[in-house]
Structure 1
Amino acid sequence: MDKTDKAILKNLQKNARMTISDLSVAISLSMPAASERLRKLETSGVIKQYTVVLDPEKINKHLTALMFLRFDNTANGENFAEYASDESEINECYYITGEYDYYLKIITEDARTLKSLLSRIKNNPGLVKTSNVVVLSNIIDNVSVLSD
C-alpha cells in the first residue's frame, strides 16, 4: 500500500459517499486510475464494507457501558462469543488477554435495558466474573483506522 492508496482510504473514511470524480481530484489522479485503485482496495479486502455511522442519542440509545467477562474454560467462552453475536446491543466484543477473557461495548437505551441485557449475559454457562462500567462521556470515538 502506497501513499496514494492511503490517501484514497483517508478520503473515504471521511466520506464514503464521495464520487470517483471528487476522489480523483482529492488524490490528483485521473478518474480511471482512481477507480482502478479503489477497485483493487475493495477486491483485496482492505475495504471490508461501506457503512453509515449513527449517532446513538438520535436513535434513543442514551447509555454506553463497558463490560469485562471471565469464563471458567475456553469452551464456555467460545459459546459466549456465539451468543454475543446475536445480541444487538453488544456493539463490540473482543477476546482479550489479562484478568478477563472478553471485553464488550454495549450501547443501549437506558439503565432498565442495560439491566435486562446484563441479566441475560450473566446467565451464560461458565461465567465466573464480570466487571461493568457506565460511560459518562465520550472523549474520542474515532471509527477511522488511518489518521491524518
Structure 2
Amino acid sequence: MDDIDKKILKRLQENARVTISVLSSEISLSMPAISERLRKLEAAGVIKQYTAILDPALVDKQLMAIIFLSIDSPSHGESFTKFVVDEPDIKECFYITGDFDYSLKIITQNTSSLEALLNRIKEQPGVVKTQTIVVLSSIVDRPSVTVE
C-alpha cells in the first residue's frame, strides 16, 4: 500500500459515497487508475465493506453499556458465539484475557432493554459471572482504524 492508496482510504473514510470522479480530481490520478486501485484494495480485503454509520440516539438507541462476562468452560464458547451473533444490540464482542473471558459493547434502547438482554446473557450455558458498566458519554468512537 503506497501513499496514494492511503489518500484514497482516508477520503473514503470521510465519505464512502465520494465518486471516482471526485477522487480522481482530488488525488490527481485518472478515473481508471482510481477504479483499479479501489478494486485491488477491495480484492485484498483492505476495504471490508461500505456502510452507513447511524447516530444511535436518532434510531432510538439511547443507552450504551459494556458487559464483561466469564464462562466456566471453553466448551461453551461456540454456543455463546452463536448467541452473540444473533443479538442485534450487541455491537462488539471480544474474547479477552484477564479476569473475564468476553467483553461486549451494547447499544440498546434503555435500561429495560439492557436488563432483558443481560438476563438472556445470564441464561446462556456456562455463563458464571457478569459485570455491567453503563457508558455516560462517548469521548472517541472511531468506526474504523486510521491509516498513517
Q: Same fold (TM over 0.5)?
A: yes
| Structure-to-structure mapping, 1:14-93, within 5 angstroms | 14-93=14-93
User: What is the DSSP-based 3-state SS (H/G/I as helix, E as strand, rest coil) of the residue aligned with 2:18?
Assistant: coil
1:68 alignment partner AA: F
CA deviation after TM superposition for structure 1 residue 77, in Å: 2.3
2:129 alignment partner AA: K
Does the aligned pair in 1 maintain the 2:96–2:102 contact within 8 Å? yes
Structure 1 CA distance for aligned equivalents of residues 41 and 25 of structure 2: 18
Structure 2 CA distance for aligned equivalents of residues 17 and 108 of structure 1: 28
The gaps in structure 1 that reach 5 residues or longer are none
The gaps in structure 2 that reach 5 residues or longer are none
1:37-86: CA deviation from partner (whole Å, max 9, x where unpaired): 01110111111111000000000100000001111111112211111000
1:110 alignment partner AA: N
Matched pairs, number: 148
Structure 2 CA distance for aligned equivalents of residues 78 and 28 of structure 1: 49
TM superposition score normalised by structure 1 = 0.96
Structure 2 CA distance for aligned equivalents of residues 129 and 4 of structure 1: 48
Identity %: 58
Does the aligned pair in 1 maintain the 2:6–2:147 contact within 8 Å? no
Q: 2:96 maps to which residue?
A: 96
Q: 1:8 maps to which residue?
A: 8
Q: 1:126 maps to which residue?
A: 126
Structure 2 CA distance for aligned equivalents of residues 26 and 133 of structure 1: 44
Does the aligned pair in 2 maintain the 1:77–1:101 contact within 8 Å? no
Q: Given the superposition, is the C-alpha separation of residues 35 and 45 from structure 1 closer, same or farther in structure 2, using an over 3 Å criterion?
A: same
Does the aligned pair in 2 maintain the 1:67–1:103 contact within 8 Å? yes
Once superposed, what is the RMSD of the aligned Cα atoms? 1.1
**Runs of 4+ residues deviating >6 angstroms:** none
1:92-124: CA deviation from partner (whole Å, max 9, x where unpaired): 111111111111000000001100000000001
Bigger mean CA deviation after superposition, 84-93 or 21-30:
21-30
